Structure 1
Amino acid sequence: MSGKLLYYKGYTGDINYSQEDDCYYGVVKDITGLVSYEGSTWENLEKDFRGAVDDYLTFQETL
Protein backbone atom coordinates (compact mmCIF):
# COMPACT_ATOMS: atom_id res chain seq x y z
CA MET A 1 0.00 0.00 0.00
CA SER A 2 2.96 2.28 0.51
CA GLY A 3 3.39 4.75 -2.34
CA LYS A 4 -0.31 5.53 -2.78
CA LEU A 5 -1.58 9.01 -1.97
CA LEU A 6 -4.73 10.80 -0.82
CA TYR A 7 -5.72 14.28 -2.04
CA TYR A 8 -8.04 16.85 -0.46
CA LYS A 9 -8.26 20.66 -0.70
CA GLY A 10 -4.81 20.86 -2.29
CA TYR A 11 -3.14 18.71 0.39
CA THR A 12 -1.55 15.32 -0.10
CA GLY A 13 -1.28 12.45 2.35
CA ASP A 14 0.54 9.17 2.15
CA ILE A 15 -0.97 5.75 2.85
CA ASN A 16 0.75 3.04 4.85
CA TYR A 17 -0.42 -0.17 6.47
CA SER A 18 0.64 -1.55 9.85
CA GLN A 19 0.28 -5.32 10.05
CA GLU A 20 1.08 -5.16 13.76
CA ASP A 21 -1.82 -2.75 14.42
CA ASP A 22 -4.00 -3.98 11.53
CA CYS A 23 -4.76 -0.43 10.36
CA TYR A 24 -3.93 2.11 7.69
CA TYR A 25 -2.15 5.34 8.61
CA GLY A 26 -0.41 8.32 7.08
CA VAL A 27 0.74 11.91 7.40
CA VAL A 28 -0.16 15.08 5.52
CA LYS A 29 2.79 16.01 3.31
CA ASP A 30 4.54 19.36 2.79
CA ILE A 31 3.16 21.24 5.78
CA THR A 32 4.73 22.77 8.87
CA GLY A 33 4.24 20.40 11.78
CA LEU A 34 2.99 16.84 11.92
CA VAL A 35 -0.59 15.96 11.04
CA SER A 36 -1.36 12.25 11.04
CA TYR A 37 -4.47 10.15 10.46
CA GLU A 38 -5.48 6.50 10.63
CA GLY A 39 -8.32 4.13 9.91
CA SER A 40 -9.18 0.46 10.16
CA THR A 41 -10.61 0.54 6.62
CA TRP A 42 -9.83 2.48 3.45
CA GLU A 43 -13.03 4.51 3.93
CA ASN A 44 -12.18 5.34 7.55
CA LEU A 45 -8.66 6.35 6.53
CA GLU A 46 -9.95 8.75 3.88
CA LYS A 47 -12.51 10.22 6.29
CA ASP A 48 -9.87 10.75 8.99
CA PHE A 49 -7.48 12.28 6.41
CA ARG A 50 -10.11 14.81 5.36
CA GLY A 51 -10.89 15.61 8.98
CA ALA A 52 -7.18 16.07 9.72
CA VAL A 53 -6.82 18.51 6.80
CA ASP A 54 -9.92 20.44 7.89
CA ASP A 55 -8.59 20.63 11.47
CA TYR A 56 -5.21 21.82 10.19
CA LEU A 57 -6.86 24.55 8.11
CA THR A 58 -8.98 25.66 11.07
CA PHE A 59 -5.86 25.82 13.25
CA GLN A 60 -4.01 27.86 10.59
CA GLU A 61 -6.84 30.44 10.62
CA THR A 62 -6.24 31.07 14.34
CA LEU A 63 -2.57 32.01 13.84
Structure 2
Amino acid sequence: MRTPDAIMLATAIEAGATLAVTNDAAWRKVYGIEILLLRDLNKLKVPALNPASATPRTIRR
Protein backbone atom coordinates (compact mmCIF):
# COMPACT_ATOMS: atom_id res chain seq x y z
CA MET A 1 0.00 0.00 0.00
CA ARG A 2 1.28 3.43 -0.89
CA THR A 3 1.99 5.91 1.90
CA PRO A 4 -0.82 8.36 1.01
CA ASP A 5 -3.35 5.50 1.05
CA ALA A 6 -2.03 4.24 4.40
CA ILE A 7 -2.28 7.74 5.91
CA MET A 8 -5.82 8.16 4.60
CA LEU A 9 -6.98 4.80 5.99
CA ALA A 10 -5.22 5.27 9.33
CA THR A 11 -6.85 8.68 9.69
CA ALA A 12 -10.27 7.26 8.81
CA ILE A 13 -9.92 4.44 11.34
CA GLU A 14 -8.69 6.81 14.05
CA ALA A 15 -11.64 9.12 13.36
CA GLY A 16 -14.06 6.23 13.82
CA ALA A 17 -14.96 5.49 10.21
CA THR A 18 -16.37 2.02 9.68
CA LEU A 19 -16.36 1.94 5.87
CA ALA A 20 -14.04 3.06 3.08
CA VAL A 21 -14.96 3.00 -0.62
CA THR A 22 -12.21 2.50 -3.19
CA ASN A 23 -11.18 0.98 -6.52
CA ASP A 24 -8.07 -0.61 -4.93
CA ALA A 25 -8.64 -4.25 -3.90
CA ALA A 26 -5.36 -4.16 -1.92
CA TRP A 27 -7.18 -2.10 0.71
CA ARG A 28 -9.09 -5.24 1.71
CA LYS A 29 -5.94 -6.37 3.55
CA VAL A 30 -6.46 -3.59 6.11
CA TYR A 31 -8.00 -4.53 9.46
CA GLY A 32 -10.19 -2.21 11.49
CA ILE A 33 -12.39 -0.87 8.68
CA GLU A 34 -14.73 -2.41 6.14
CA ILE A 35 -13.65 -1.90 2.53
CA LEU A 36 -16.21 -1.61 -0.26
CA LEU A 37 -14.99 -1.73 -3.84
CA LEU A 38 -16.76 0.53 -6.32
CA ARG A 39 -17.42 -2.46 -8.59
CA ASP A 40 -19.45 -4.02 -5.76
CA LEU A 41 -21.78 -1.03 -5.35
CA ASN A 42 -24.20 -2.36 -7.96
CA LYS A 43 -24.68 -5.51 -5.84
CA LEU A 44 -26.18 -3.45 -3.02
CA LYS A 45 -29.95 -3.13 -2.81
CA VAL A 46 -29.84 0.62 -2.13
CA PRO A 47 -31.66 2.57 -4.88
CA ALA A 48 -29.56 5.70 -4.36
CA LEU A 49 -26.41 3.67 -5.07
CA ASN A 50 -27.90 1.48 -7.79
CA PRO A 51 -30.08 3.60 -10.09
CA ALA A 52 -30.96 0.55 -12.23
CA SER A 53 -32.88 -0.94 -9.30
CA ALA A 54 -34.66 2.29 -8.41
CA THR A 55 -38.36 2.71 -9.07
CA PRO A 56 -38.89 5.26 -11.86
CA ARG A 57 -40.65 8.42 -10.71
CA THR A 58 -42.32 11.20 -12.59
CA ILE A 59 -40.99 14.65 -11.79
CA ARG A 60 -43.77 17.20 -11.65
CA ARG A 61 -43.13 20.88 -12.08
Could you tell me the TM-score, scaled by structure 1's length?
0.25
Name the structure where strand makes up a greater proportion of residues.
1
Name the structure where helix makes up a greater proportion of residues.
2
Could you tell me the TM-score, scaled by structure 2's length?
0.25
